[in-house]
Amino acid sequence: MTIQNAINKLENILGDRLSTRFSIRQQHGTNETYFPEILPDAVAFVNSTEEVSNIAFICNEEECPIVAWGTGTSLEGNALAHRGGISINMMNMNKILKVNPEDMDVIVQPGVTREELNSFIKDKGLFFPVDPGANASLGGMAATRASGTTAVRYGTMRENVLGLEVVLANGNIFKTGGRSKKSAAGYDLTKLIVGSEGTLGLITQLTLKLQGIPESISAAICSFPTVNDAVQTVIQTIQMGIPIARMELVDSQTIMACNEYFKENMLVSPHLFLEFHGSENSVKEQSETVSEIATNFSGSNFEWSSKPEQRNKLWKNRHNAFYAVKAKFPGHKAIATDACVPISELANLIDQTAKDIYESGIPGPIWGHVGDGNFHATLLIKEGDLKEKKIAQAIIHRMCERSLELGGTVTGEHGIGMGKLNFMEKEHGYAWDIMTTIKKTLDPNSILNPGKVIRSN
């Protein structure tokens, strides 16, 4: 029962699609945040559910860890082979199997990225709304319960996955959910797997809900004297039931970085980036109402656009904020943070976090999906500077503590991975034991992404 035995057996079935080359392992050992490089012992490039099932069967016998790999864009080390073993690269399982335009759903393999899906279905007048920023794989997005800029209107992966095909630790394959819009037939295993970060099973197929491309889309940006004014605008918009499609906060520091990066000239103050979807009249009405609300909270410098190119130009700063910020701090590592609270506590949490970051001396621009009560501070620490890394970790720690005190969660959308494991006990109490019990029942040898999400043994 060793990892090496598993590798030998897997070579027999995968041939040169099983690689132990250092460069390949290294590609599957990187992460977009501050964790050290962690290399799997081998990487399997799979083509089918049956291969994933065979790998699981063999690795279960050999007690060899397996973890799925998509685009590698997760932010909490979610896909790192923390205890070695096999990284299963799912990106060759990239077929769009069936689009059902009448029912507005689609069946895809996990390696399809959200942009690939959206290109494919565009001419059918449909789109898949979940947008975490990165062009992530849909399997990875489901595994981490991703969301992003449009969740305020269309929900997260939780609301947009109708069904799954899953490979269990022992290699057995099962299907969850289906194509009907609702069902009361037994336990909702789909929702159990979505967000389980590959610790309960490997996602090999997804049925996703689609949306009709709106008749009209309009975008706007607007500046505020304080973050609190911007957040109050968001709260009132939500309370009035305005079906706004995107509502993003960007703070002064980020605006400054964007101004430099894109040679823009935006007022250096907190901004809201807005997007409205609907019929022409409805979009017009939504826009008018929200700009009235914003004006009441001292919002100004409105810029509007309904043409695609102009809209993209307007949103460019938000979409590329991460790169603008990184460019402003060369030689720095960017650490994404993630907290989500009831919206009434959002201004308070952002305020305290901003103050904390300011006092630390580390740059930490803030932006977020404020319509959901969710935001991120991006902490920039000098590469290799262990002292700054510690300071950043302490900021994250306090941010999570505050989020929990305010009735929130330590992660709105990035997941637990390796980064938030220490907060599971505090956030969930005894419910974490229940999660651990379920994990142990479905994966008794703990081969599925061990060391993540649940209490480690």
Nearer to its own copies, 19 or 49 (CB): 49
Q: Which of 29, 72, 412, 450 binds its own copies (CB under 8 A)?
A: 412
Q: Measured from the CB of residue 53, what is the shortest distance to its own copies in angstroms?
A: 12
425 is an interface residue for its own copies by CB under 8 A: no
Q: Using CB under 8 A, which residues numbered 66 to 105 contact its own copies?
A: 100, 102-105
**Which of the residues 122 through 161 are near its own copies (CB under 8 A)?**
144-147, 151, 155-156, 158-159
Concatenating the DSSP letter of every residue in 180-225 gives SS---SS--HHHHHTTSTTSS-EEEEEEEE-EEPPSEEEEEEEE-S
- Decide whether 37 or 215 has the Cβ nearer to its own copies: 215
Residue 296 as a binder of its own copies (CB under 8 A): the answer is no
> Rule CB under 8 A: is residue 432 a binding residue for its own copies?
yes
CA–CA separation, 19 vs 45, rounded Å? 8
Q: How many Cα atoms are found within 13 Å in the side-chain-facing hemisphere of 456?
A: 12
CA–CA distance, 94 with 273 (Å, rounded to integer): 33
**Residue of 186, 330, 331, 384 that binds its own copies (CB under 8 A):** 186
Q: Which is nearer to its own copies, 3 or 235 (CB)?
A: 235
> Burial, 413: exposed, middle or buried (Cβ in 10 Å; 0-12, 13-18, 19+)?
buried
Which one of 123, 185, 263, 361 is in contact with its own copies (CB under 8 A)? 185
Q: Smaller CB distance to its own copies: residue 6 or 227?
A: 227
CA–CA separation, 44 vs 380, rounded Å?
Answer: 34
Q: Is 444 among the residues that bind its own copies (CB under 8 A)?
A: no
Q: Is residue 336 part of the contact set for its own copies (CB under 8 A)?
A: no
Rule CB under 8 A: choose which of 37, 95, 174, 422 binds its own copies.
Answer: 174
Cα–Cα distance, 345 to 231 (Å, whole number):
10
Query: With respect to its own copies, which residue has the nearer C-beta, 3 or 134?
Result: 134
Q: List the one residue out of 193, 256, 260 whose CA is nearest residue 438.
A: 193
Smallest distance, its own copies to C-beta of residue 415, A = 5
Task: Determine which residue in the list 48, 119, 122, 178 makes contact with its own copies, applying CB under 8 A.
Answer: 178
* Residue 438 is a binding residue for its own copies (CB under 8 A): yes
The single residue among 272, 413, 443, 450 that binds its own copies, judged by CB under 8 A, is 413
- Give 378's DSSP letter: E
Which residue among 309, 361, 430, 457 contacts its own copies (CB under 8 A)? 430
The pair of structure tokens assigned to 272 is: 């809201």
Asked if 272 and 233 count as a contact pair (C-beta separation under 8 A), the reply is: yes
Q: Which string of DSSP letters, residue by residue, matches 54-84? A: HHHHHHHHHT--EEEESSS--SSSTTS-TT-
Q: Is 416 in the site for its own copies (CB under 8 A)?
A: yes
Among 364, 347, 339, 255, which residue's Cα sits nearest to residue 297? 347
Site mask, its own copies, residues 197-216, x = CB under 8 A?
A: ---x----------xx-x--
Going by C-alpha positions, the residue among 453, 414, 431, 442 that lies closest to residue 145 is 414
